[in-house]
Structure formats: structure tokens, C-alpha cells
């Protein structure tokens, strides 16, 4: 399962991670966010040990989404060595997310 990350833990969990990190910016009231939630959890299990996957509730943590100009949710940002390497907005298929992880994070 994807672990929660907060404004307070973002730097240590995401930016300083030795593994690539995918962050799902979401909110409980967002239908598309709830739709891809199970997919995000499946990917966290499938890629365990290769990539870290976190979920950030934008309502409870406004600082980080503001810093990355998140204007719509769900937004998924892939970080590698603390840098943004890809950003995807909207409900994306599992196969597209797997391709993104393999091509951008694990390459």
C-alpha cells in the first residue's frame, strides 16, 4: 500500500529518498482520486523495494501542492534524486503508470 506523506515528512521521505518516488496528490472528496487509489496501492506492492509510492492529502497538506503548482487532482509526480522527472494529471490507467515508472524511474 502507498504510505501517507505530509508537508512535514515530504523532504525526508521524497526529496532525500535513495529510491525514485511517486507521489499521488489526492483528496477524499475527489471521485477520480478514489478511482485510481486502488491502482496506486497495487503499484506500491508490485514495485516495493524499487520505488517508493506515497499519497498526499492536499486538503490536510496545502504547502507541498502549492510549491509544485498542483491545480487539479489527482496529480501524480515522479521524483528521482529529489527532482521532478514527470507529472501526470487525471485518472491514468495502471498500464500507463507502470510504463511511466519503468521508463522514467527505473531506467
The one catalytic residue in 30, 58, 100, 105 is 30
Is 80 designated active site? no
**For residue 49, is it left (φ>0), alpha (ψ between -120 and 50) or beta?**
left
What's the burial of 9, exposed, middle or buried (CB within 10 Å: 0-12/13-18/19+)?
A: middle
* Terminal C-alpha separation, the chain: 23
- DSSP code at position 74: S
Active site residue 29: no
Catalytic residue chosen out of the listed positions 5, 14, 33, 97: 33
| Residue 44: partners with Cβ closer than 8 Å, 6 or more residues away | 1, 2, 3, 53
Q: Which residues carry out catalysis? A: 30, 33
Amino acid at each position: 500500500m502507498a504510505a501517507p506523506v505530509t508537508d512535514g515528512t515530504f523532504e525526508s521521505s521524497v526529496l532525500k529518498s535513495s529510491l525514485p518516488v511517486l507521489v499521488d496528490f489526492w483528496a477524499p472528496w475527489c471521485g477520480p482520486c478514489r478511482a485510481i487509489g486502488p491502482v496506486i496501492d497495487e503499484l506500491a506492492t508490485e514495485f516495493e523495494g524499487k520505488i517508493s509510492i506515497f499519497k498526499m492529502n492536499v486538503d490536510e497538506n496545502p504547502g507541498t501542492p502549492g510549491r509544485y503548482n498542483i491545480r487539479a487532482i489527482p496529480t501524480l509526480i515522479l521524483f528521482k534524486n529529489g527532482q521532478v522527472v514527470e507529472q501526470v494529471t487525471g485518472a491514468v490507467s495502471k498500464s500507463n503508470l507502470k510504463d511511466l515508472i519503468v521508463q522514467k524511474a527505473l531506467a
